[in-house]
């Protein structure tokens, strides 16, 4: 019988508790000793394999608060959680309003934006890109030219669908987001901001992204690729701010 996996909500809570503990400079063994819990209990709670009760969450956060300034913890754990969700999702839909979505970025473009590109594998991936992101120079002309070529190459995969929202579409309600769908769990939406990210789990919050109006104004995949190719041809091919 396959080992049950934690739900996205359980993992998000587990990640938050683990980050709070580490930010307070507490070892898992210390927490177990102070709360008179077993180390296996701490481990299972911090991996999402065991649902923590409200009383247990309160005890863990109180201990972290009393031990150090846990509220200043780095929010990078949200990106780690997103990466884990991306590995487990069966379908990913991403919209990039001003930058190209992470999962189709080259390493050089990812370095210029302080992001990372996860391995897509065989999962279905749909990327919506505002035309403005094709023209915004990140990392220099060479990095951008290579990134756009990479985008065209990735669009040839049968599991990847690339859709560009042209300037001619006018104003639209699109915002940068990642929608993750799972085979055995409810979908999750990730919204990224400058200093932090936000996960949406409640069906009423996720629903608007499942029926996004962006699809109605985006070009079809073939026209999207042709538009990107025209942008490549029009871009300067020399010079690079990052020395790539």
Tens of pLDDT, residues 118-175: 455 678 899 898 898 888 777 777 888 888 888 888 888 899 999 999 988 877 666 7
Rounded CA-CA distance 213/172 in Å is: 8
Answer with the residue of higher pLDDT: 115 or 68: 68
What is the pLDDT, as a whole number, of residue 164?
93
Residues 6+ apart with CB under 8 A from 179: 92, 93, 94, 187, 188, 189, 206, 209, 210
Q: What are the residue ranges of CATH 1.10.260.40 in the chain? A: 8-72
Tokens linked to 96: 């990039």
What percentage of the chain exceeds 90 in pLDDT? 18
Q: What are the residue ranges of CATH 3.30.870.10 in the chain? A: 77-234
- Judge whether residue 210 has pLDDT over 60: yes
Crossing angle of the two packed helices 8-23 and 39-46, in degrees rounded to 10: 120
Which of the residue ranges 30-44, 188-202, 227-241 would you say has the lowest mean pLDDT?
227-241
Q: pLDDT-derived band of residue 40, with 50, 70 and 90 as boundaries?
A: very high
What is the pLDDT, as a whole number, of residue 174?
63
Tokens linked to 137: 């120079």
User: What does the angle CA 200 – CA 59 – CA 72 come to, to the nearest 5 degrees?
Assistant: 60
Pick the CATH number of 77-234 from 3.40.190.10, 2.60.40.1220, 3.30.870.10, 3.40.50.2300: 3.30.870.10
Pick the CATH number of 8-72 from 1.10.260.40, 3.40.30.10, 3.40.309.10, 3.40.50.300: 1.10.260.40
Rounded CA-CA distance 162/222 in Å is: 9
């Amino acid at each position: 019988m396959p080992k049950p996996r934690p739900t996205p909500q359980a993992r998000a809570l587990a990640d938050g508790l683990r980050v709070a503990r580490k930010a307070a400079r507490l070892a898992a063994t210390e927490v177990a000793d102070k709360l008179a819990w077993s180390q296996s209990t701490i481990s299972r709670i911090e991996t999402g394999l065991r649902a923590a009760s409200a009383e247990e969450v309160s005890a863990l956060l109180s201990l972290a608060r009393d031990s150090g300034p846990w509220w200043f913890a780095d929010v990078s754990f949200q990106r780690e959680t997103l990466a884990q969700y991306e590995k487990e999702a069966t379908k990913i839909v991403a919209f990039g309003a001003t930058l190209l979505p992470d999962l189709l970025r080259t390493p050089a473009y990812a370095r210029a934006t302080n992001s990372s590109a996860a391995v897509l594998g065989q999962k279905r991936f749909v990327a919506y890109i505002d035309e403005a992101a094709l023209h915004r120079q990140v990392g220099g002309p060479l990095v951008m030219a290579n990134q756009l070529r990479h985008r065209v190459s990735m669009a040839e995969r049968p599991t990847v669908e690339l859709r560009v929202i042209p300037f001619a579409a006018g104003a639209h309600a699109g915002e940068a987001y990642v929608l993750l769908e799972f085979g055995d769990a409810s979908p999750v939406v990730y919204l990224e901001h400058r200093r932090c990210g936000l996960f949406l789990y409640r069906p009423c919050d996720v629903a608007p992204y499942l029926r996004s109006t962006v699809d109605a104004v985006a070009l079809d995949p073939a026209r999207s690729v042709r538009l990107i190719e025209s942008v490549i041809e029009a871009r300067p091919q020399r010079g690079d701010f990052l020395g790539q």
